[in-house]
Structure 1
Amino acid sequence: MKVLVICDALDTSQLGRKVKEELKKYLEKDKHSVATFEIQTEDMHHCIGCFGCWVKTPGECVFKDISSDINKAYIGSDIAIFVSPVRYGCYTPAIRRTLDRMIPNILPFFKKIKGEQHHAPRYKKYPGYIVFGYGEDITKEEAETFHSLCKANALNLQAKKAATYISRSESDVTDRLISLCNYLKECEQ
């Protein structure tokens, strides 16, 4: 299975390092083909909402930076895993910027899904959308917000399969990663 991993490179917390190291070990052990991007906000331009990726250069952002490579890897993957500290129930700025720059992968047109307006797909196939959030001081409300945010992003990015995992300590990282790997095995079937 082709797996894309997108991480926030600026997080150097002990918990963050453990999550990234253990995730890498589990994915290698299960023999997935893995592409990894360690993102910093400086790696890519802000989305300026120009809609050039929809009308001027369809499917490609007008800014040529690392997001072009990420978008190609995203569409070519079976599963995309976003790894981010949870900050106030949200992703870090680097992960948020990456997601903002993924809009070339969808169309500017809308369709109704479960009573909500969402973008129409540009491509026939999209990867599953998995988010692994972590932080030692995540409140119950922040976790609920994070789950809702991830679910909405997965729906808008056309993911047929999606899951969110949250780890609050080094001791529960292994359990969450085992659950994630079991989910990946289900996705392969």
Structure 2
Amino acid sequence: MLMVPAWSDGRTESIAGWAEAPPTGVGEYTVEAVPVAATAPVSGRGDEAVQGGFACRGLLGDAQAGPTVCLSRVNPGLAQFFFDLRWHLAPKSGERVVTGILIRQEDRAEPFQVIAGLDARTATQIDNAGFELIDMDFDGYLDMRLIAGGTAGPNVLYRNWLWLIQEEPFMESPGAR
């Protein structure tokens, strides 16, 4: 059975355990590899978006830094991915600052993509550190976006990464920034 984040008290739990009450804190990961059936990715026709979801877990309480871990399937024909958002609280502003994202396949311990050097700032009240997975380019694959920072008005600035079918990592889309 695939095990997902090991919590600070030493417990591990299966993905099914994510529906239960949240634990007290996130620790390191443990993964027991499982065979993954070879399935072909499902392609969109260009006129609909994949309606995928994602679930995130983060530290509870007054944590000053830590990971927020999200789980999602980018396409029904692909394995699930873990998105590990690394963040800390800015000392003066109190904003949550996401500094990096590590992305790994559910049955692998090592990330296949590391996005470093981020300085994405959000209020602590914003869910999932401002992280979302949505199909922005209507290709049938979920893309990733992260709130880059607040503005004085109602607009929100995002950093966007598109899943490129041929490349298979997420590629930042500077034009959609």
Question: What TM-score, normalized to structure 1?
Answer: 0.22
Q: Pick 1 or 2: higher relative contact order, CA cutoff 8 A, min separation 6.
A: 1
More helix by share: 1
